[in-house]
Amino acid sequence: MEFKKNDCVTVTIEDMGSDGEGIGKVDGFTLFIKDAVIGDQVEAKIIKSKKHYAYARLEKVLQPSPFRVEPKCAYHRQCGGCQLQALSYSEQLHFKEQKIRNNLIRIGGFDAEYIDERMQPIVGMEEPFHYRNKAQYPIGTDRDGNVITGFYAGRTHNIIANTDCALGASENQQILETILSYMRKNKVTAYDEVTGKGLVRHVLIRKGFTSGQLMVCLVINKKMTKMLYPTAGVQKNTNEFLPNQGELLAALAEIQGMTSVSVSINTEKTNVIMGTEIHNLWGESTIEDTIHVRDMQKENYPYTGDALTFKISPLSFYQVNPVQTEKLYSLALEYAGLTGKETVWDLYCGIGTISLFLAGKAKKVCGVEIIPQAIDDARENAKRNHIENAEFFVGKAEEVLPEFYKKATTEASSDEMLHPDVIVVDPPRKGCDDACLNTMLRMQPERIVYVSCDSATLARDLKILCDGGYEIRKVRGVDQFGMTVHVETVVLLQRKDM
Ligand code: SAH
């Protein structure tokens, strides 16, 4: 049996794919249907048909699934940022747990029983909306020439006007409306990606959830021409980046919690949002946030009393869900099992957040990260929190670690970092490089803690580490991104001969 484009089918959704699409079967033929959720009976129209499967568009929900809920955001289908908004939160958690489990079994080649014995219940969110501490809104113009902001419709650069994203901080709307009304009143233009003309490109908003501090950074398409030969008596305010700038600053300053307003210069024709040149216009150049250590074995994960404070600039990398980040880091810390005597490598360390958590409980921690500015921040953060036993290296984990290993072995050095007790890794989606994994195996740490944002590459890497003499002790998912299909996983590996 084969379907043609525009054929209509009635199908029951029995499963969900890794992108959140509903999966159902008609006469053994598999259908992938975006926006349909597990348990739905739907009517769908075939969009694209292949030999054994087809993609179809959801036309009508005939019989809603018991897991189907009313989405909070009217734009969730157009936007595509929240793939799971129509699924109840508890079922989202179940979906994510299954995603991790399936990847470990299918890609990692582990037995279902082996995984089930080691998997701890996923760590969910108490409030799965309004959890993001960072938002980047594009500014554009609608058909009638009005300045608007919102989000790009899935896979396009067409802006759909909406200042009230369900995942963002509740203050975002007021901030955006303030900027829009200032722009309209002062005829400030929005950037046009096609012509490269227009002034305001994006608005970045960051919030320190613990401090309550708000940061706004307008990305603008304008270079400041420096006055090299100012005429005597003529004063030019070189800090004037926007027309009638004082009016905007005064309005933003009124917003409860606002502590930092800046502009970022980006005159390139590029998809990269932020420009690297930042000018502070009002208040501080950074905001502050505190991450507390939690007890992940107790109900509701209470604070243990330990905490670290970070300064965040418009360009800093910082986890976007601060509440769940506390749980993720606390879990990594728990799995590391530190007593104060251990030496630890923290690979892919970013601004050193995990490293500094570990340093409080270890003898020494070395962090490795590819972005030099992140390492500058890491060193700053160490100082700010009075941590002296953390050292940071700039470079690729797959180069820094092997070089260190080679040097330490050839020099017959007894460097204590040569055979660390624990290695923590938190790589980007593509996972760890083979050279990195192989060096880790040579270093033979007692424990490896793998923090992953993609359980497929995690599964692939775990197979290599387990073939190399390690065994999985614990696996636990942490939901950092409610309403989306993404899930973080923390795994504890132990050397088999220990
Ligand atoms: N552990 C940090 C950052 C995790 S994100 C935190 O929780 O905040 C992954 C980090 O790995 C990013 O900061 C990225 O810049 C860095 N990175 C990417 N490829 C890398 C590589 N090959 N070697 C080292 N770091 C890398």
Q: Of all atoms in ligand 1, which is nearest to the CA of residue 368?
A: 24
Nearby residues of 403 by Cβ (< 8 Å), 6 or more positions away: none
For helices 434-443 and 397-410, give the axis angle rounded to 10 degrees.
Answer: 40
The CATH superfamily of 1-68 is: Nucleic acid-binding proteins (2.40.50.140)
Partners of residue 490 on adjacent β-strands: 451, 476
Question: DSSP for 185-241?
Answer: HTTPPBP-TTT---SEEEEEEEE-TTT--EEEEEEES-PPPP-SSPPTT----TT--
Extract the tokens encoding 253: 């300053």
Rounded to whole angstroms, the Cα distance separating 421 from 304 reads 24
Chain mean pLDDT for the chain: 94
Q: Are 129 and 166 in contact, with CB atoms under 8 Å apart? A: yes
Q: How many CB atoms lie under 10 A from the CB of residue 265?
A: 18
Extract the tokens encoding 64: 């809603």
The reply to whether ligand 1 has any atom less than 6 angstroms from the CB of 371 is yes
Q: Are 213 and 260 in contact, with CB atoms under 8 Å apart? A: yes
Extract the tokens encoding 37: 């959720």
The reply to whether ligand 1 has any atom less than 6 angstroms from the CB of 428 is yes
Question: DSSP for 85-106?
Answer: TTB-HHHHHHHHHHHHHHHHHH
The CATH superfamily of 290-495 is: Vaccinia Virus protein VP39 (3.40.50.150)
CA 294 to centroid of ligand 1, rounded, Å: 23
Same fold, 1-68 and 134-226+241-285: yes
User: In order along the chain (498 residues), what is the average pLDDT of each group of 10 residues?
Assistant: 87 95 93 96 95 94 98 91 96 97 98 98 97 97 94 87 95 98 97 95 98 98 65 59 96 98 96 95 96 96 96 93 97 98 97 96 97 94 97 98 89 80 98 98 97 98 98 98 97 93
Rounded to whole angstroms, the Cα distance separating 386 from 381 reads 8
Q: Which of 92, 32, 102, 31 is nearest to 67 (CA)?
A: 92
Q: Where are the domains of the chain?
A: 1-68, 134-226+241-285, 290-495
CA 426 to centroid of ligand 1, rounded, Å: 7
The reply to whether ligand 1 has any atom less than 6 angstroms from the CB of 381 is no
- DSSP E strands, 430-478: 447-452, 470-478
Sheet architecture: strand order including 277-283? 159-161, 147-152, 134-141, 200-207, 214-220, 258-265, 277-283
What's the pTM value of the predicted model, to 2 decimals? Answer: 0.93
Q: Are 390 and 356 in contact, with CB atoms under 8 Å apart? A: yes
Is 113 part of any known ligand binding site? no
CA 474 to centroid of ligand 1, rounded, Å: 23
DSSP three-state, residue 77: helix
pLDDT at 277: 94
pLDDT at 416: 87
Please list the active-site residues. Answer: 453
Q: Which of 291, 264, 282, 324 is nearest to 136 (CA)?
A: 264
pLDDT at 202: 98
Convert the pLDDT of each residue in 170-199 to its tens digit: 999 999 999 999 999 999 999 999 999 999
CATH of 134-226+241-285, one of 1.10.287.130, 1.10.3720.10, 3.30.40.10, 2.40.50.1070: 2.40.50.1070
Nearby residues of 213 by Cβ (< 8 Å), 6 or more positions away: 207, 257, 259, 260, 287, 288, 289
The reply to whether ligand 1 has any atom less than 6 angstroms from the CB of 35 is no
Pocket test for ligand 1, best of 369, 373, 433 (most atoms within 8 A of CB): 369
The reply to whether ligand 1 has any atom less than 6 angstroms from the CB of 85 is no
pLDDT at 153: 86
Q: How many CB atoms lie under 10 A from the CB of residue 284?
A: 15
Q: DSSP 3-state helix, strand, coil percentages of the chain (rounded to 5)? A: 25, 30, 45
